[in-house]
Amino acid sequence: MTALRIVGPATALRGEVSVPGDKSISHRSVILGALAKGKTKISGFLAAADCRKTAQSLVAMGVKIDNLGQDDMVVHGVGLRGLCDSGEVLDLGNSGTGMRLLMGVLAGQNFTTTLTGDESLRRRPIDRIAIPLAQMGIKVTGQGERCTPPVTIYGGQPQAITYHTPMASAQVKSAVLLAGLYADGTTTVIEPGPSRDHTERMLAAFGAEITLDELQVSVVGSPELRGQEIVVPGDFSSAAFLLTAGLLAPDSQVTVRNVLLNPTRTGLLDILQRMGAEVEVANRRQVGGEERGDITASTSELVATEVGGDEIPRTLDEVPILALLATQAEGQTVIRDAAELRVKESDRLATTTKMLRAFGAQVEEQPDGLVITGPTRLHGATVNSYGDHRIAMTAAIAGLIVAGETVVEDTACIDTSFPGFIDLVGRLGGEISPNEAHND
């Protein structure tokens, strides 16, 4: 177990930094690069555990990748049907995105593959992917009623379908669209609300025929995907932790450069504006079909707000850090329609509640959300991450803004999404160090 020690409160956090590449785009870039013909050059790839697992699984199926797992990689594509049977169970570690997207790809192969993961991933349901794949004629088996991993995909010839997703989910949508690449005809996904659109943007860039109509997206089967040059922007979800430190620590101003500004991902910016946060976005520009820019956050007095509905899919990964912000906002913040958080790396509604209560926050857990009353004077605490990278980083940022010592246990998980997190906090003036007494 790896533990971190933070002694707060920090003041005058200042500086300009860049965060590692976007996790969602990194997964998709290496997968589509593998399925394309020719070379795909990826700059800014997130060289974190989750994305490396996806890349390593593709290598096991015969894809050559230069500089595997580094920031800059070259993927030598094998074409849609060029993957080969690895002859082994593929371990995706903690990568739920990698597993779900690869299930869509494996649906169209002429071999059978079993995917597994770590203890956390083996608790996460995969039925929401297995159900539409079954409608496409592809057999998928897993463990128990919710089809938890290990999960086996019996590849074959998917049938084109129109699928109405029961929830707005980029992973479900992406898996069906990727399987649709192998179908005869047009595969359509219709969602009840907006979700991340990186897959359809990138498929179009690689040469697939994509049609968009509000909440409906379609792909025509058997395209010839062509290798591309991809420059991955900084991960907005990672930037949110550093921006929060800038908002809550006294006399602070933090700028994160080259951050993804895709509107399906930046719900937190809209919420922060309602809360009265001093947040500015500058240098907006389009690169490779995705908008990016520089975000500056300055010490702010916040007011409570309500978050729910279509805003949740645009904010889902940021709910733990939003909850920390809400503890310092005047009034009662209500987060609803977020039951999806119960099947993440941890039950994030439960673990966020436990973690913030340990700091002295007033948090009520609801079936589909949280109610947080603020502002509350927090204090140092010893907390556990429950093996969840976003809980670990939220706790670390909380430790920076409270008085006294904070110890965050089980923090190796941070490397699954944000390698260099501690160093970047240090560059801004915050101090986070290993806590030897809690390290095994």
Domains of the chain: which residue ranges? 4-21+233-438, 23-231
Encoding tokens for residue 68?
């595997």
Query: Hey, which residues are catalytic here?
Result: 317
User: Which architecture does CATH list for 4-21+233-438?
Assistant: Alpha-beta prism (3.65)
Q: Do 4-21+233-438 and 23-231 share a fold?
A: yes
Average pLDDT of the segment spanning 360-385: 98
List, in sequence order, every beta strand (DSSP E) within 53-209: 64-66, 73-78, 90-91, 112-116, 139-143, 148-154, 162-164, 186-190
Say if domain 23-231 classifies as CATH 1.20.210.10.
Answer: no
Q: What is the pLDDT of residues 127-183, one digit of tens each?
A: 999 999 999 999 999 999 999 999 999 999 999 999 999 999 999 999 999 999 999
Inform me whether the pLDDT recorded for 440 exceeds 60.
no
Instruction: Sort strands 278-287 and 37-43 into parallel, antiparallel or unpaired.
Output: unpaired
| Angstrom distance (rounded) from CA 349 to CA 432 | 25
Q: What is the pLDDT of residues 35-93, one digit of tens each?
A: 999 999 999 999 999 999 999 999 999 999 999 978 999 999 999 999 999 999 999 99
Cα–Cα distance, 247 to 361 (Å, whole number): 18
Query: How are beta strands 216-220 and 210-213 bridged, if at all?
Result: antiparallel
**pLDDT for 284-336, tens place per residue?**
999 888 999 999 999 999 999 999 999 999 999 999 999 999 999 999 999 99
The continuous run of DSSP H or E covering 54 comes out as helix 49-60
pLDDT in tens, 236-292: 999 999 999 999 999 999 999 999 999 999 999 999 999 999 999 999 999 888 999
